[in-house]
Structure 1
Amino acid sequence: MLYGIVVFPEKHVQDLANNWRRRHDPHYSAIPAHLTIREEEEWNDDELQLAVAHLERVTSTIQAFSIHFNRVSTFYPVNHVLYLALQDTALIQKLHEEVSSGPLTIAAPKYVFTPHLTIGQQLSADELHDLYGNLRMQSIDFSSKIDRVHLLYQTDNGSWTAYQSFLLRG
């Protein structure tokens, strides 16, 4: 089964992101607006139990924190993705590093980890440039508390649902 690890921003940030995701993200109905902490991976039952134990340990040492979204950005030309970017990525980077250690070490990551909240993907180049041109002129100023990490799994219909949530309790 496919598993992934994410954090969900507070509802006001999800609502803002979903205004754009509804039209520009084909995964809108499969998963709520989120920041991926560790990419999806196929795990068997033993690997899942190791991951759960590891997440229990990691989240016991990290305190809840706030993040601040301050602009729209893109991964163009590597990917036709638009996203809400963070003013300071240090705390999410630290969470990613801690989660992606031990039994969850990523041997060969597909991408350099860039904390973000996707608002559009699989866009044509013209659509990406048009949307990015419009959105980058808008004022983005949203903060969100991050106080838990979610271990998700993909269901048979392609949507993602929580397997377990872990409070940051450091």
Structure 2
Amino acid sequence: MNYGVAIFPSKQLQDKVNSYRKRYDPNYALISPHITLKYTFFATEVEIETIAEQLNNIAKSHKPFKLNVVKPSTFQPVNNTIFFKVELNPELESLHKEMNHADFFGGPSPYAFVPHITIGQKLSDDEHSDVLGQIRMLDVTHEEEVDRFHLLYQLENGSWTVYETFRLGEEE
């Protein structure tokens, strides 16, 4: 089965992001707005129990932290994805690093870590330019505290759901 690890922001931020995603993101119905910590990887039912234990240890070793959305941005010219850029802070970087080193299941991420929340993707060049131009005029700055991350699994229809939630800095 396919798994991944992500942070879901507050409902307030998800609502703001979804106001764009429902129009500009074909994956809108498949997953809620999120920040990816570990990209999709395959694991068996037995393997995922060990991975969940490792994720629990990672969560316990990290404290809650501030998440700052700073501005709209894009991955162009690589692709026409538009996103809200999340400020890379030491806590977020450390979480990502611990889940993406060579010895952790699935190995290193295939991408450089650019923390973000996607608001549009697979846009035509003209649509990308128009949407980005509109969104860049908005003040999208936002700050909130993150106190958990989630292990997700992919259903047969392509949608993602929570397998387990891990609270930062807490013993179970």
TM-score by length of 1: 0.93
C-alpha displacement of 1:145:
1.5
Partner of 2:136 in structure 1?
136
Between the aligned partners of 1:136 and 1:90, the Cα distance in structure 2 is 26
Partner of 2:61 in structure 1?
61
Q: Which amino acid aligns with 2:56?
A: E
Partner of 1:6 in structure 2?
6
Q: Please, which runs of 5 or more residues in structure 1 have no aligned partner?
A: none
Between the aligned partners of 1:162 and 1:43, the Cα distance in structure 2 is 15
Q: Please, which runs of 5 or more residues in structure 2 have no aligned partner?
A: none
Question: Is residue 89–residue 115 contact of structure 1 (8 Å, CA) maintained in 2?
Answer: no
Partner of 1:104 in structure 2?
105
Q: Which moved more, 1:41-50 or 1:145-154?
A: 41-50
Helix, strand or coil: the match of 1:13?
Answer: helix
Between the aligned partners of 1:87 and 1:150, the Cα distance in structure 2 is 20
Question: Is residue 84–residue 118 contact of structure 1 (8 Å, CA) maintained in 2?
Answer: yes
Between the aligned partners of 2:110 and 2:129, the Cα distance in structure 1 is 24
Helix, strand or coil: the match of 1:67?
Answer: strand
Between the aligned partners of 2:52 and 2:148, the Cα distance in structure 1 is 14
Between the aligned partners of 1:79 and 1:38, the Cα distance in structure 2 is 20
Between the aligned partners of 1:89 and 1:133, the Cα distance in structure 2 is 27
Partner of 2:127 in structure 1?
127
Helix, strand or coil: the match of 2:151?
Answer: strand
Between the aligned partners of 2:153 and 2:94, the Cα distance in structure 1 is 23
Q: Does 1:160 align with 2:155?
A: no
Q: Which moved more, 1:1-10 or 1:39-48?
A: 39-48
Question: Is residue 62–residue 91 contact of structure 2 (8 Å, CA) maintained in 1?
Answer: no
**Pairwise CA RMSD:** 1.4
Q: Which amino acid aligns with 1:106?
A: G
Partner of 1:27 in structure 2?
27
Helix, strand or coil: the match of 2:27?
Answer: coil
CA deviation profile, 1:58-82 (whole Å, cap 9, x unmatched): 0011001111112000000111100
C-alpha displacement of 1:105:
5.6
Helix, strand or coil: the match of 1:103?
Answer: coil
Q: Which amino acid aligns with 1:95?
A: L
Question: Is residue 50–residue 103 contact of structure 1 (8 Å, CA) maintained in 2?
Answer: no
Between the aligned partners of 2:164 and 2:9, the Cα distance in structure 1 is 17
